[in-house]
Structure 1
Amino acid sequence: MPSVIFPGPEGRLEGRFQPGPRPRAPVAMILHPHPQAGGTMNDRITQHLYKTFVNRGFATLRFNFRGVGRSQGSFDNGIGELSDAASALDWVQSIHAEASTTWIAGYSFGALIGMQLLMRRPEIRGFISIAPPANMYDFSFLAPCPASGIIIQGSADTVVTPNAVQKLVDKLRTQKHITIHHDVIPRANHFFENENEDLMKSVDNYLDMRLSPDCPIK
């Protein structure tokens, strides 16, 4: 996983990037949890998501938002971080301009930024949102949500309440032309400390389905 530095809106951004193994390889970008709660691109779940997409032949990037690690700038309450994510995706696409498709995956705060980004980038055709903070931020910007994806939540999460996430899922499922999957991992808290295997099994099962040649969801 080569270390990379690329330009962001407030200076350089630090990342880890695995180029695609073939021409037109799909692109995936992984977004980490809240910087002010210690979130970095080296977060355990962020790394597992990264490895999952790399193993499936994606050109995969994870990176530090502004002010984290060697990334320049300072925390901007989600506004600047969304700009960081857009710049990061631009950078990956400059290398893989012929990418067949683009996916976004985020955990907690990263899920919020990822879902905001997919509203602005029509090339994103799938998303994985783990514990999106629906009780802390207004997700009404998803009107309409332009892509199908999966939302995964822990049943014992006291940081992002399952009820708030369920309301978000229910709202998204009223929209036409997309399909929202929703997995609740029993006993899992916000950090999936003892349920990481179940979490990644949920991710893998969903990707197996979506990446299958006969999947009806496009």
Structure 2
Amino acid sequence: MQTPDTIQIPGLCGPLETIYLPVRGNAKGVAVINHPNPLQGGTNTNKVIQTAAKALNILGFHCYLPNLRGVGNSPGVHDYGRGETDDCTAVIDYACAQHPEAPKLVLAGFSFGGYVSLFAAAQRKPDMLLLIGPAVKMYTERAEPPLPDAASTLLIHGADDEVVPLKNALEWAAPLDLPTIVLPAASHFFHGKLIPLRDTVLRYAPLILDDDD
């Protein structure tokens, strides 16, 4: 795995501070991974999205972890998922343009980042949508959009999530017939469970992406 760099990606509010983790050798695609709620301290250095990025990098994806508007050195103000969706799609478009030889797109997000990723997925249709403890059924003023494709979605949730209750994920997934992977004894931030989280992504993501290796 390569050493990550910090780059600036053009966004509607200005340059988005983004961690970029390149692939050594042939890449399969790009992955954009969104951080949890910045009002609760979420940034692109969060351990959960860092864990997801390392797993996706091992699987052959150039990983981009933006600080969405108002976070870190990214300008703008928190917009409760609306403007952040524009930020996410800007990073997706930039990443895809940088790596035309690596056509697959993974869109991922943890907690609030999962909520943002749902809106971005409705616009950009990723080959895989990875949702980790997504903040579904939490924002009543703006409900989540329809899921583009349940078959290309990997949903992972902690059994003991104290921020986004597991029942939220199950109730949201039920009408979609979307299987949910539940990590036993895992809290919202997967304290002590980051290795099982990584291994879960490494185990199941290739099945969705139709990888043979």
- TM-score computed with the length of structure 1 as normaliser: 0.87
Equivalent in 101, 106, 110 of residue 103 of structure 1: 106
Over 3 Å counting, the alpha-carbon distance change for 1:110 and 1:35 in structure 2 is same
> Could you tell me whether the CA contact under 8 Å between 2:150 and 2:176 is conserved in 1?
no
Question: What is the CA–CA distance in structure 2 between the aligned matches of 1:196 and 1:23, rounded to whole Å?
Answer: 27
User: Is structure 2 residue 147 aligned with structure 1 residue 149?
Assistant: no
Cα-to-partner distance string for 1:163-215 (whole Å, 9 max, x where unaligned): 11101111211xxxxxx331111111111112222222221111242345469
Q: Which runs of 5+ in 2 are unaligned?
A: none
Question: What is the CA–CA distance in structure 2 between the aligned matches of 1:142 and 1:98, rounded to whole Å?
Answer: 30
Aligned-residue Cα RMSD (Å) equals 2.0
> Could you tell me whether the CA contact under 8 Å between 1:4 and 1:14 is conserved in 2?
yes
**Aligned residue type for 1:25:** K
Question: What is the CA–CA distance in structure 2 between the aligned matches of 1:48 and 1:143, rounded to whole Å?
Answer: 24
Question: What is the CA–CA distance in structure 2 between the aligned matches of 1:181 and 1:148, rounded to whole Å?
Answer: 11
Over 3 Å counting, the alpha-carbon distance change for 1:94 and 1:214 in structure 2 is closer
Aligned equivalent of 1:63: 66
Cα-to-partner distance string for 1:54-107 (whole Å, 9 max, x where unaligned): 222212111101111111111111101001001111111121134321011110
- TM-score computed with the length of structure 2 as normaliser: 0.89
**Aligned residue type for 2:127:** R
> Could you tell me whether the CA contact under 8 Å between 1:153 and 1:165 is conserved in 2?
yes
> Could you tell me whether the CA contact under 8 Å between 2:109 and 2:131 is conserved in 1?
yes
Question: What is the CA–CA distance in structure 2 between the aligned matches of 1:8 and 1:159, rounded to whole Å?
Answer: 30
Equivalent in 106, 110, 134 of residue 136 of structure 2: 134
**Aligned residue type for 2:203:** N
Q: What secondary structure, in the 3-state scheme, does the structure 2 residue paired with 1:54 have? A: helix
Over 3 Å counting, the alpha-carbon distance change for 1:24 and 1:54 in structure 2 is closer
Q: Which runs of 5+ in 1 are unaligned?
A: 174-179
Q: After the TM superposition, which parts of structure 1 deviate over 3 Å for at least 4 consecutive aligned residues?
A: 19-25, 143-147, 211-215
> Could you tell me whether the CA contact under 8 Å between 2:118 and 2:147 is conserved in 1?
no
Q: What secondary structure, in the 3-state scheme, does the structure 2 residue paired with 1:151 have? A: strand
